[in-house]
Structure 1
């Protein structure tokens, strides 16, 4: 296939127009941008964050939530976590770190067809509990595990 100078100039001009339109905000794919829940991710204590997220709803402990976390984290700056569940109709998974300056580490909203599994890297300030809260149907379920942090983390 030959590529003429005319075709090149047409494609370059079209690409330039797309970039300018996107930068100007004229072309914004609404489905792509995630919603930023600023008040959920504000500094505070765990209880305040839980109240903001779940409005004082009852949260039941569940053995149907599987947490895969190290018992001892050699570096608090990178703590791997995997959360899975056998609960049906899982709508969201929230991960909280008890003693972090901002307790909410992540919140995932899942579609109906998604498998209830998430994986992430946490940053932990110090030894504390990692709590996962899953919304399934109209109920909230949680599981927790303590992780001992030896070095690093949010505090230094």
Structure 2
């Protein structure tokens, strides 16, 4: 057995076309912009296997400081595939789920910004109200509000 120890999940990466709009959308959900940078150079290509690349990234962090989204906009090489409209039963990474308060108010704000409810808002027993939305650029986002039990 290995002696290493998992410390945490650092971030989830999402590739977008418009970084400014993606930042604004995730700020509406409640994440904060932690920083922006250009990622390029020989080392970056060795990590991703893409050789020469120029990628503008924005790191978004949840209010508790424990979870991050790395939003990326590829300048080079060009994007070669688009999984944003894949249904929820597609193989591979699919969605990000956020725990929220006042899910109805948040969904209302997000739909005013163009997000669409995928199915419907449902209640899971007496534990959660949850839904999936298609947000900025069709990204699939899960929202869950834990219900207060007595």
Normalised by the length of structure 1, the TM-score is 0.22
Normalised by the length of structure 2, the TM-score is 0.23
Q: Which has the higher contact order (CA 8 A, sep 6+)?
A: 1
